């Protein structure tokens, strides 16, 4: 059932994102999420291409980003959603991610 998949994904995000924030610059998912949150502070829409450009020094941006935007048993954790070509935090976990981000700042 889709609701069960969403609940499982939310649990995965809540397990992994705090770890990503603790690991900081040693984990590609952390770096992508940090870069997104920095850009998000500017208040302007963020396209995937803009985020990719800002993350150009990270190895395998596309592979890691795709794992962060899609559902999947073996994905990294769905933290992003793309709406009309713009990257946003996935609504069910957006407040959690922003809260965790503020805790480390």
Q: Which helix (H) or strand (E) holds 97?
A: helix 91-104
The answer to whether 36 and 51 are in contact (CB under 8 A) is yes
In a structure prediction context, what are the per-residue pLDDT tens digits for the chain, which is 105 residues long? 568 889 999 999 999 999 998 887 778 899 999 999 999 999 989 999 999 999 988 778 999 999 999 987 778 899 999 999 999 999 999 999 999 999 887
With b for 16 or more beta-carbon neighbours within 10 A and e for fewer, the 38-77 pattern comes to ebbeeeeebebebbbebbeeeeebeebbebbbeeeeeebb
- pTM here is 0.91
């Amino acid at each position: 059932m889709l609701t069960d998949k969403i609940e499982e994904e939310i649990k995965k995000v809540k397990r992994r994102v705090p770890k990503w924030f603790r690991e900081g610059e040693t984990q590609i998912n952390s770096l992508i999420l940090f870069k997104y949150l920095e850009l998000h502070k500017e208040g302007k829409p963020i396209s995937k291409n803009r985020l990719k450009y800002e993350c150009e020094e990270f190895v395998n941006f596309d592979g890691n980003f795709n794992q962060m935007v899609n559902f999947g048993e073996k994905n990294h954790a769905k933290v992003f959603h793309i709406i009309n070509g713009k990257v946003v935090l996935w609504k069910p976990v957006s407040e959690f991610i922003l809260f965790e981000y503020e805790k480390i700042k």
